[in-house]
Structures are given as structure tokens and as C-alpha cells.
Chains A and B, each alone.
Chain A
């Protein structure tokens, strides 16, 4: 159960000194990242991770939480103003946000989006605070076979649910597993796949790889489509929502917050899915569904609430089980390990105070971006106009310097650049990068727990399927994989039926 004494102390820590400054700066930077189309929350966190090395763990972590929540919210600003989602998570906000802006209600749309995101995020952060300790307590009973099953489940879900093609998702994840095996054998301690290079004895450094795959690869994509920044001409007025408007959306807030939380908890799907589910449910249950798409405030409130509500859901399995909910939480997990904190049930037992500070930080982060969003809405709108020809080189330099600065090692910089270009090619040719990153975390977990399980059973592999929790998790993994493959086949068949010509034309090339 949640320890209220520790939680109050957590709030006191977060709200004092450098911590609150770091949180506000993180949130501010996060909103900027979110508002600029093409830059994602994951990229923002990956970019800023190196800047947190010199900080206290909690200062660094709250800063990253600020970026995470701020960027997820900030994506809605561009959706409303220029009809282009700032982040993929804000795609559904376009449907009613942009029509509102066209009607001269851009300020009102941004105000509603800000409050909705704040409500969704705060709700989910409170749920995280209450449910995470319970789940962690339960997870303390887990042993090697259960952790092996969890890793298999996490990998199978991630691989099958990310990207357009489960086959390419599988290849990305499996190659990620092979990359994760580079370095010392986790049990025997002998070098594997190092080609005699001393730099590879510890495997590829995780954070430079993350920065490369998530931030630098996106940088390359920006180079590919470099355009003159869109000009935001909308005049923002009536930003602060009226009480009557908030009352109108109250049911939408509650429904979307619950949807966001549930979607977030499901591994591998996060804010991107939550916003669409939130929007479609709001439309389906509305008394006037025909008005959706013409610029109604519920059409903005629903996706924004759901997308920010998914953040706490994504954090839940990451903190309690060491199983990241999405790419952004995988990067956050990497950041925690840099500060010598290993997410999982033992984190709750050994660093209970810090865990409660994280809960407090998550709640405060959601309130901070509401204040910043309502106060500086006009500034964030102008950020969209930023010159990409100057911004993209700056992103590249920050990625490379950040990677180098971790250990002052040139091979870390080379790792970042290598995985940056690899990530760019992967995205270009339809291989999702998230499975490759998650495989770095889950691969080590899977392999070491598999071998520990065999050691526990003196070599009998049936231990993996004779323990009830492990068996249930493995069945879930198989079920999810089969469902995803069937859904993918159905989708492909529909695609071929609807548009046979582009498919066949491309295939001939």
C-alpha cells in the first residue's frame, strides 16, 4: 500500500530547491519538443538524459518526468494550430482542434486541451501512486521462471503490436536480442561476440544506443523532409476555459482518463493508441456524434485526456516489473539505471522513499504543464515557427555530445551515430525501432532468468510451464502474438482489396 508519510515527504522534496526548478525547466522544454512537429517525447527524454548525469537522482528523474508529460501534452498545440500533430500521440486532436482554430477559437481549443491533459495526467499519476506499490508487493513473489515469462510476454507484445508488419517488428526485436548478447555472458562471465574489441566487452552502451535509435534517427528523418517551418497566424484569445465548458466535458474527462490508463498499462501501446480510442469513444457515446470533426470541445478534450492519462499507465509496469510500457518509458528506464536504480519490485523495497518522490514528481509534473501551458500558450504557439535549418543541426550536436559525455568515450559517440543511421534506415523501411530497444532491456532479463530457472530445476525446462503465474503469462504471450498476426493479415488483405495498384507497383520495383 501507498505510504502517505513518505508521499508527503516526497512532495516536500519535489517542491523544494533544485527539484522544482528542474521540473519546471523539464516541463517547459518538453512542451516545446512536443509542439514542434517531428520531435517526439521519446526523443526529448533521450536528448536530455545526458544532462541529468551530474544531478541528484531525484532531480534528474523529475526533470525527465517533466519532459515526458509536457511533450505528450505539447503535441496537441501543433495539432490545433497547423493541422499537423506535434507528436504521434496528438494525432486525434487534429480532428476537432484544427476546425476550432479555423473558426477563430484556437485559444479556447488550446485551453481545453491543456486542462484535459492535466486532468488525465493527474488522474493517472494518482492511480500509479496507489496501484504501483500493490503490484510491486505481488511481484516480490516472482522468481526466475516468472521473470522469464514476463520478458517473453513483453517482447512478444512489443514485437507484434509495433509497426505495420509483425514480421519486421519480430526481426527488429530478435536482432535487438542478438545485439544485447554482445559482451560478457551473464552467468559464465566469458566474452561473447566481441570480435576481440575491449570496447565491446560490456556490450554496446545503452544510453548512446537509445539516443541514436530514438533521437538521431529522427534527426535524419527531419533532414530528409526539411521544410520551411509552417507559419502560425492564429490569434490566441480566451485561453482560460470557462467553468461551463469544463462541466460540459466532465463525463468525457472521466471516460477518457480511464481509457488512457488501461491503454497505457497494456505493454507496447501508449499515448498514440489512447488518443484515438478516447476520441472514438467520445464520439460513439455523444448525443451529437455528427458534430465531431466540425470543431467541438469534447473532440479536443477526449484525445488530450486519454493521451496524458496513458503516461501513468505506461509507468506502472516499468516501475513495478521493469517492463517498459512504451518507447518513452524504455528511455526513462535507461535513465533510472544510469542513476543506479533498477526498476522492479526491489526498487519499492530498497528505495521506497525515492519511489514516493517519483510518484509526487509525476503528480506535480502534470500540474506544472497546465500552469505553463495556460500562461505561455502564445509563446509555445510561436515555437512552431522555429527555423528547422538551425534546429536540426542543434539536435544532432546535442545527441552526439550527450553520448560522448556519458563516459568521455569516442566509442559511445560512434555507437550513437551508428545506431542513429541504422534507426533511420529501419524507420524508412518499415522496421519499428522500439522492439530493438526493448530487447536490450528484456533480452538480458529473459536470458539470465531462463538459465537461473534451469539451474533451479537442475536442467528440467518444465519449470517454465509448471508454475501457474509463469504459465498464465506465457499463454497470454502466445495469445497476443496469434491475435496480432491474424489482425495484421486481415489488415493486409483489406489493403490489397482497397488499393491493389500501389502495392503491386511498389512490389515490382
Chain B
């Protein structure tokens, strides 16, 4: 998704927006009208109608070849770096409560720094160890905010 041309991205955006707006119309039709002050569905439907119109214009412009130019296309290593970052970040969300903050953050930092191209092992390992411990200390000791302990519980 991060390496689409502007035209394709505009078309895709319009195709995502349209069903969302239709859903707004569908759900707002089920709301209780009498019990509330004003019409609860008026603003949501009004906004959805405006978004639909804007999405139509976006689609029309894209198909007519009037999309704005893209700053730069992502290819090769740059694209791979973004995809891997998104994947490990998603993995972090999935694992942090199950495995625990310190272990997950150590693995995450190690992988992330490696993905960004750092290959000096001492720096890689040291930073991956220091950061989770330092952040845990700041939040747990300094701000009294508990972070997930996971397997260490």
C-alpha cells in the first residue's frame, strides 16, 4: 500500500471511503429518533454525504489523470524497511501483554535497529537492553505506571 502511485492511491481511497459512508447511512437509519433532542442522524448523514461527494471528485480527478504528483516512489530497500517496521510493530502490539514489556521491547528494539541497518553487535545488544530497562524504570518507579509483566508475572 505504501508504494502505490498517486492515481492508484486516490482510486483506492475513494473505494474505501464509499462503503464507509454507505454504512453511516445504514446504521443511522436504525437510531431512536423520538427520544432525543434534534435529529441524531442529521449531522452523521450530512457529513457522510459530503465525504461521498468528495470521494467522487477524487475518483473523477484520478481517472481523468489529474492526481497531484507523488513526492517520491518507494522501491527496493526503502519499501522493505517500511513493511518490516509495520510488521514488527504489529507484532509488538500482539505480544507485549502476553510476553511482557521488557522481553518484547528487547526483541523489538533489536529487530528494529537491525532493520534500520545497524550491524555493530555491541551497540545493537546494549541499546536493546538499556532502553526497555530505562523506560520501565521511568514509568514504574518514576510515574507509578505499571507496564505489562507477561511471562515474568
Contacts and interface: CB of A to CB of B under 8 A. Distances in A.
A interacts with B: yes
Interface of A: 51, 53-54, 164-165, 167-168, 170-171, 174-175, 177-178, 181, 185, 187-188, 190, 192-193, 220, 223-226, 387-390, 392-394, 396-398, 400-401, 404-405, 408, 410, 413-414, 417, 420-421, 424-425, 428-431, 446-447, 450-452, 454-455, 459, 502-504, 506-509
11 contacts: A164-B68, A167-B54, A175-B51, A178-B21, A192-B28, A225-B78, A389-B113, A410-B96, A420-B89, A428-B70, A451-B38
Contacts of A193: 23-24, 27
A393 B81 CA distance: 13
Given A187-B36, A188-B35, A171 B54 contact: yes
Contacts of A446: 43
A506 B35 contact: no
Contacts of B116: 223, 226, 388-389, 392-393
A390 B118 contact: yes
B57 A455 contact: no
Contact of A170 (B21, B54, B86): B54
Nearest to B78: A224
B40 interface: yes
B71 A503 contact: no
Contacts of A53: 143, 145
Contacts of A398: 135
A431 B67 CA distance: 12
A398 B138 CA distance: 11
A71 B109 CA distance: 26
Given A164-B68, A405-B147, 17 more contacts: A167-B54, A167-B58, A171-B13, A174-B47, A188-B32, A192-B27, A193-B23, A224-B81, A389-B117, A390-B123, A400-B93, A405-B145, A413-B93, A424-B2, A425-B2, A430-B68, A451-B38
A377 to B, nearest CB: 27
Contacts of B58: 167-168, 171
Interface string B54-79: 11011001000111111100100010
B2 A178 contact: no
Interface residues of B, number: 79
Contact of B67 (A400, A405, A506): A506
In order of increasing CB-CB distance, the 9 nearest A-B pairs are: A451-B38, A509-B5, A188-B36, A507-B65, A393-B112, A454-B38, A506-B69, A54-B143, A455-B37
A421 B83 CA distance: 11
A350 to B, nearest CB: 25
Given A164-B68, A187-B38, A507-B67, A171 B96 contact: no
A396 B57 CA distance: 36
A508 B66 CA distance: 9
Nearest to B119: A389
B74 A408 contact: no
B47 A177 contact: yes
Contacts of B105: 397
B118 A226 contact: no
Contacts of B96: 400, 404, 410, 413
Interface string B4-28: 1111111001000100110110011
A495 to B, nearest CB: 9
B69 A502 contact: yes
Interface of B: 1-2, 4-10, 13, 17, 20-21, 23-24, 27-28, 31-32, 35-40, 42-44, 47-48, 50-51, 54-55, 57-58, 61, 65-71, 74, 78, 81-82, 85-86, 89-90, 92-93, 96-97, 101, 105, 108-109, 112-113, 116-118, 123, 127, 131-132, 135, 138-139, 142-148
Nearest to B16: A175
B43 A447 contact: yes
Contacts of B4: 429
Nearest to B51: A174
A410 B148 CA distance: 10
A428 B79 CA distance: 13
A454 B42 CA distance: 12
A173 to B, nearest CB: 10
Contacts of B69: 502-503, 506-507
A509 B8 contact: yes
Contacts of B40: 185, 187-188, 190, 192, 451
Contact of A226 (B74, B117, B135): B117
Nearest to B14: A171
Nearest to A166: B54
User: In this complex, which of A393, A400, A451, A509 has the most chain B Cβ atoms within 10 angstroms of its Cβ?
Assistant: A393
Nearest to A505: B69
A185 B31 contact: yes
Nearest to B112: A393
Contact of B68 (A165, A177, A190): A165
B6 A506 contact: yes
Contacts of B9: 429
Contacts of A187: 36-38, 40
A405 B51 contact: no
B92 A400 contact: yes
Contacts of A192: 27-28, 31, 40, 44
Contacts of A51: 138, 143
Contacts of B65: 504, 507-508
Contacts of A504: 65
Q: Which of A190, A425, A509 has the most CB of B within 10 A?
A: A509
Which of the listed residues B4, B20, B85 has the most CB atoms from chain A within 10 Å of its own CB? B85
A159 to B, nearest CB: 10
A389 B101 CA distance: 21
Contacts of B109: 393, 397
A138 B146 CA distance: 45
B11 to A, nearest CB: 11
B90 A397 contact: no
A178 B51 contact: yes
